[in-house]
Amino acid sequence: MIYLDYAATTPIDPRVFDMMLPYFRESFGNPSSIHRYGQKAETAIESAREKVAAVLHCRADEIIFTSCGSESDNLALRGAALARRNASGEKWILTAHTEHHAVSKTAIQLEKEYGFQLEWLDLDEFGAVMPVSLSKAVCKDTALASVMYANNEIGTINPISELAEIAKANNILFHTDAVQAAAYLDVNVEKLGVDLMSLGGHKFYGPKGVGALYIRKGTKLIPHLTGGGQEFSLRAGTQNVPYIVGFAEALSLASEERGQRIAHVKPLRDQIIGRVLEEIPDALLTGHPENRLPNHASFVFKDVDGNLLLQLLDSAGFACSSGSACKTGNPEPSEVITSLGYSRDWALGSLRITLGVDSTPEHVDMFVNTLPGLVEKVRELK
């Protein structure tokens, strides 16, 4: 099997795994316990917090650990929107149809169940939220804007620092979901200017089941998980020590090795894009042609059943996706793809190929040699 779905998840880096191992058995204490076992676990968490803060260029007490990127998104949106309304009455939330469902469905729930007002930001042809779109949508009653750093389905990178600047000028909180971006883009929060930023460990060779949320000092949140006082009383529950240690190490390695990882995947990505567009009729690249994640190639094929194509690729030995891993198997076209204006006969035929550290030129050659025949076969079966 050749794995080409690194945007869905990544294998754990052996160096990360080695860092985690002692905290499963030898140093297994509860970080809230007073005794030495507990102190050792607490020290591990605080060291991890400092390591994450060093990558983000923020204070250690601005990092809280969660169970995943989706939880971080939920806490950021729900927590900030409720706190803002409680403090000063603002009730508008701004976001886009291209967001991960952890953001868009949370925003919809806030509108439906909590009485907030929701406005969807305009997109350009590549699925990016442009600064003019945010400027146009802002009103004096806006509490929060949330725009992802890089799109998981189409790879487009949003102009986050410019968007955050507009939000700041209008006294609006700004959140970005950087879950997909952190593997390859700079997550320096001072440069980005964001108030809240979500991260998930398994997208950059860390473990599944752990994430983080950056919260700029002074930003108020209502906790959505109450109980003990862990994570500065913003996220109750005994911390997952080995996973937190693994998360911090994986993020640190992603930051240190960013340049070489980009140099490895980008030529492979460009080869896939070039050959697919050249060799397959009625194929279009989705997302921005240049301003996209360096490991990410995504397409729509006219008159192709994307899920059937995935099954045939799997049988041929290739693991790919039709978009978000959360969308796989759904017969309806992705919201991200339809928001770009594609008609149903195009939108149903989406394919995402994402590369990683173990991808090789041989893998790419085998893939691009196999794909045209499979697309043709799916069209014949339609």
**Is 193:159 a contact under the CB 8 Å cutoff?**
no
Residues 248 and 312 reside in one and the same domain: no
- The CATH number of whichever domain residue 105 belongs to comes to 3.40.640.10
Containing structural domain, residue 182: 14-256
The candidate with the shortest Cα–Cα distance to 232, out of 219, 247, 250, is 219
pTM score? 0.96
Q: Of the candidates 256, 274, 295, which is a domain's last residue? A: 256
Residues 135 and 186 reside in one and the same domain: yes
Residues 245 and 271 reside in one and the same domain: no
**Is 136:145 a contact under the CB 8 Å cutoff?**
no
- What is the structure's pLDDT at 328? 55
CA distance 209 to 221: 22
Residues 102 and 207 reside in one and the same domain: yes
In degrees rounded to 5, what are phi and psi of residue 381? -75, -15
Q: Work out the burial of residue 33: count CB atoms within 10 Å of its CB; fewer than 13 is exposed, 13-18 middle, 19 or more buried.
A: middle
Residue with tokens 């017969």: 331
Ordered strands of the 283-285 beta sheet: 283-285, 296-301, 350-354
Residue with tokens 């196999």: 370
- What is the structure's pLDDT at 324? 57
Residues 264 and 310 reside in one and the same domain: yes
* Sequence letter at residue 63: I
Residue with tokens 């640190």: 252
Give the tokens for residue 309.
């194509």
The tens-digit pLDDT sequence of the chain (382 residues) is 999 999 999 999 999 999 999 999 999 999 999 999 999 999 999 999 999 999 999 999 999 999 999 999 999 999 999 999 999 999 999 999 999 999 999 999 999 999 999 999 999 999 999 999 999 999 999 999 999 999 999 999 999 999 999 999 999 999 999 999 999 999 999 999 999 999 999 999 999 999 999 999 999 999 999 999 999 999 999 999 999 999 999 999 999 999 999 999 999 999 999 999 999 999 999 999 999 999 999 999 999 999 999 999 999 999 999 865 565 556 688 899 999 999 999 999 999 999 999 999 999 999 999 999 999 999 998 7
SS3 63: strand
Beta bridge partners of 215: 196
- What is the structure's pLDDT at 282? 97
Residues 357 and 237 reside in one and the same domain: no
Other C-beta atoms closer than 10 Å to the C-beta of 236 total 14
139 catalytic residue (yes or no): no
Give the chain's domain count. Answer: 2
